[in-house]
Every structure is written in C-alpha cells, then in structure tokens.
Amino acid sequence: MFAMILTWVGAVLGLALLIAMAAGTFVVDFDDRLQERRRKAKSANPLP
C-alpha cells in the first residue's frame, strides 16, 4: 500500500515538473519575441 502511494506521489510530482518546464519554455519564447519586437522598433525609429 505504501509503495502504491509513493508511486502516485511520484507520478503527480513528475507531471507537475513537466508542466512547469513547458510553462517555462513558453515564457522564454514569449520574452524572446518581445525583445525582437523592441529591437525592430528601435532600428525603425533611430533617435537623431
């Protein structure tokens, strides 16, 4: 019984880790796109 509980706890922790990793890659990708947009805006409107 204890082994079954540990198995379920491990499975839930593993799923939580996978979800956190997927969310992290989404945040990094979104941040990269924002930085590209800022770079394009700066190069399109150079200050005199």
pLDDT tens string, the chain, 48 residues long: the values are 999 999 999 999 999 999 999 998 888 888 888 888 888 877 766 655
E strand or H helix at 43, and its extent?
helix 2-44
First to last CA, the chain: 73
Half-sphere exposure of 27 (CA within 13 A, CB side): 6
Q: Indicate the pTM of the whole model.
A: 0.61
User: How confident is the model at residue 48, as a pLDDT?
Assistant: 58
